[in-house]
Structure formats: structure tokens, C-alpha cells
Amino acid sequence: MPTDPVNRNLVYVFDISGGDPALLDDETTVRACLSQVVDRAGLTPLGETSHRFAPQGFSMATLLAESHLAVHTWPEDGTAYVTLTTCRAPSSDSFEEDTRSLLRETFSATDVAVRTLL
């Protein structure tokens, strides 16, 4: 039996507010941003699925070897949230702050709040 504790459910929730509606509704921008989040965390993408809502909004989930990453956007409100659930801690000690900065810059957001559930 292993004696090291296994992280089975690390959850990071990034609440984006005051974002640019055009950027939040741009599928290419959202996909590129999530790809950077996965890369920066040192995680392994396996596949993805997405859905565009009418007249606006976008949801996407990336299946990871370590669990999943999801985004849901509400361009009409300038908001979105990104959730990362993983069984392995991100490879960078500055993951939370780096991801906040990436999301703020990518979506021209006024704020990105972070909640961590361990």
C-alpha cells in the first residue's frame, strides 16, 4: 500500500468578470487560452468537446489524463468561469496567479477571482 496521500480532487475555480464580450464569445480565443492553462499546469490533454449557444456564449471541456478543465462564457454579462479539477497539483507554484493574469489579459477582464477546493 502506498503511504503517500493521493490528491483525488484539487479544484481551481476562476471567476472572470468585466471581460470583453467579443473575446468571451470568440471560440478561437477561448480554445487558445485553455490550451495555455493546460500547458502551464503541466497536464496532459486527451480530447475536448464544446458547444456554442445562440445567440452567444460558449462552453468547452477538455478531458485530461489527470481529470478535466471546463469553461463557460456569458459574453452578454462580460463573465465566464474556468474550472480545473485534477488529481495532480499543477507543476508551477505560481499556477493560480499565472492563470489569473492569463485570463485577465486574454479576456481584457477587470477581475479574476480564484477559489481553490482541496
Quick check: 81 and 15 in contact, CB under 8 A? yes
Active site residue 87: yes
Give CA–CA dist 66/71, Å, rounded.
Answer: 17
Does residue 116 form part of some domain? no
> 6-20: per-residue pLDDT in tens?
567 899 999 999 999
| Predicted TM-score (pTM) above 0.85 | yes
Catalytically annotated residue among 35, 67, 68, 108 = 67
Please say if the pLDDT value at position 2 is more than 60.
no
Does residue 4 form part of some domain? no
What residue has cell string 468537446?
A: 49
Catalytically annotated residue among 17, 59, 72, 108 = 72
* DSSP-derived pairing of the beta strands 67-74 and 10-17: unpaired
> 59-77: per-residue pLDDT in tens?
999 999 999 999 999 999 9
Taking each helix axis as running N to C, give the angle between helix 95-106 and helix 27-41, from 0 to 180 degrees, rounded to the nearest 10: 170
Active site residue 72: yes
Catalytically annotated residue among 87, 91, 92, 94 = 87
Does residue 118 form part of some domain? no
Give CA–CA dist 24/61, Å, rounded.
Answer: 15
**Residue 15's CATH number:** 3.60.90.10
Active site residue 67: yes
Does residue 44 form part of some domain? yes
Does residue 5 form part of some domain? no
Does residue 1 form part of some domain? no
Instruction: Work out the pLDDT band at 118, boundaries 50, 70, 90.
Output: confident
> 17-42: per-residue pLDDT in tens?
999 999 999 999 999 999 999 999 99
Does residue 117 form part of some domain? no
Domain that holds residue 77: 10-111
Does residue 60 form part of some domain? yes
The tally of domains found in the chain comes to 1
Residue 41 grid coordinates: 499546469
| pLDDT score recorded for residue 67 | 94
